[in-house]
Amino acid sequence: MNGIHDMGGMQDMGPTRPEKDEPVFHEPWEGRVFALDMALGADWSGNAERYQIELIPPADYLRMSYYEKWLTSLLELIVKTGMVTRTEIESGKATESNTKAGHMLSVAEVAPLVATGSPSTRNVPAVAHFQAGQRVRASNVNPAGHTRLPRYARGKLGVVEHDHGVFVFPDTDAHGLGEKPQHVYSVRFAARELWGKQANRRDSVYVDIWDDHLEAA
């Protein structure tokens, strides 16, 4: 989706302002949202969650803090997956039996969850259509759903630097359309190819791109 989340190349967002001695969480509720999301996250795809955040309307997306966005998507996802009903969220009272009897993360499972994460590589055969050193063009596509091909790279010429191996394809996985595992490549784009002569001729941007989003050039 050509949404506000796809920010690469915009110039009107002001200067970056690092905060001195920044805490991990600025308020206790931020930590609770983070923990709730981690504890419940096994019940949906991380790609579906990202898409849910991308659906936040642009004006809200820019105004909300990071964890407000997480909270917004969390509320949607727990309803979508049948964990709670909207009525329950309205009333604050548990009235429906928990039909989606998902596994409840126990304290003993926290350390293994943190230490393992959820790898996105898949040990399945997939044809690598490109190889290191090859010139490629990022496809000029404009998917309406979740995609990992940023707008600024579309249609641009680059060189494959490295084949990272076979990964789940977020563009389909986010929408429940299957994992469609395929190769992901590190593609180097000269900064001048992306931005023209204003860029330093030595500079480059490396983008990780799925096989489906590349064409031979």
What is the footprint of other proteins within residues 32-51 (CB under 8 A)? 32-36, 38-40, 50
Query: Which lies closer to other proteins via its Cβ, residue 111 or residue 216?
Result: 111
214 part of the interface to other proteins, by CB under 8 A: no
Which amino acid, one-letter code, is at 173? D
Taking the complex as a whole, the smallest distance from the CB of residue 167 to other proteins amounts, in Å, to 6
132 part of the interface to other proteins, by CB under 8 A: no
Q: Which of 206, 159, 200, 185 is nearest to 8 (CA)?
A: 206
What are the start-end ranges of the H helices in 81-211?
86-91, 110-116, 170-173, 191-195
Query: Which lies closer to other proteins via its Cβ, residue 113 or residue 126?
Result: 113
- The residues in 53-82 that bind other proteins, with binding defined as CB under 8 A, are 53, 55-57, 60, 62-68, 71-72, 74-76, 78-79
- The residues in 149-178 that bind other proteins, with binding defined as CB under 8 A, are 149-150, 152, 164, 167-168
Which amino acid, one-letter code, is at 90? E
In angstroms, rounded to a whole number, what is the distance separating the alpha carbons of residues 189 and 153? 8
- Which residue of 2, 102, 141, 178 would you call a contact of other proteins, by CB under 8 A? 102
Taking the complex as a whole, the smallest distance from the CB of residue 68 to other proteins amounts, in Å, to 6
94 part of the interface to other proteins, by CB under 8 A: yes
Q: Following CA atoms 152, 47, 166, 102 in sequence, which dihedral angle do they give, to the nearest 10 degrees? A: 170
C-alpha pair distances (Å), 1 with each of 7, 68, 148, 170, 171 = 12, 21, 10, 13, 10
Taking the complex as a whole, the smallest distance from the CB of residue 19 to other proteins amounts, in Å, to 6
SS3 111: helix
Taking the complex as a whole, the smallest distance from the CB of residue 185 to other proteins amounts, in Å, to 9
Pick the stretch among 103-111, 128-136, 171-179 that binds other proteins (CB under 8 A). 103-111
Q: Which of 161, 145, 176 is nearest to 209 (CA)?
A: 161
139 part of the interface to other proteins, by CB under 8 A: no
What are the start-end ranges of the H helices in 41-141?
46-54, 58-63, 66-80, 86-91, 110-116
147: buried, middle or exposed (CB in 10 Å: 19+, 13-18, 0-12)?
buried
Count the site residues for other proteins by CB under 8 A: 102
Lay out the site mask for other proteins across 174-213 (x = CB under 8 A, - = otherwise): ----------x-x----x--xx---xx-xxxxxxxxx---
